[in-house]
Amino acid sequence: MNRAFPHVYPVDPFPEGDPMRSFDDEHGGHWQAALMEASFGNVSLIFSRIGGEGVLHRALDTANYREAEQWLADSDEAALRASLAEAQPWG
């Protein structure tokens, strides 16, 4: 929620917290996965390694951001690791 300007965004878009998940890869690396809303309703899954450098991304096959939030909330670590394996370097 934009707390500096509550009149602009009166409803907190993430009432249950940030749309972010932490998980470990098969090598013991610690990662965070977060959602990013892109143009034309596309949603990307952004991966960053905790204590590492670089960012990876992967487009999600979801109809909208809300569906992507639900996908992220429902995904187990195996699904997140599979998505990480398909992710490409940012840039």
- Per-residue pLDDT of 40-82, as tens digits, reads 889 999 999 998 888 999 999 999 999 999 999 999 999 999 9
| Beta strand segments in 38-90, E | 43-49, 55-59, 88-89
List, edge to edge, every strand of the sheet that includes 30-37.
20-24, 30-37, 43-49, 55-59, 88-89
Between 72 and 18, the higher pLDDT residue: 72
Please report the pLDDT score of residue 16 as a whole number.
54
Please report the pLDDT score of residue 17 as a whole number.
54
Please report the pLDDT score of residue 32 as a whole number.
95
Structure tokens at 35: 């959602």
Amino acid type, 41 = G
Rounded to an integer, what distance in angstroms lies between the CA atom of residue 29 and that of residue 37?
26
Rounded to an integer, what distance in angstroms lies between the CA atom of residue 16 and that of residue 58?
24
Mean predicted confidence (pLDDT) in 23-33: 93
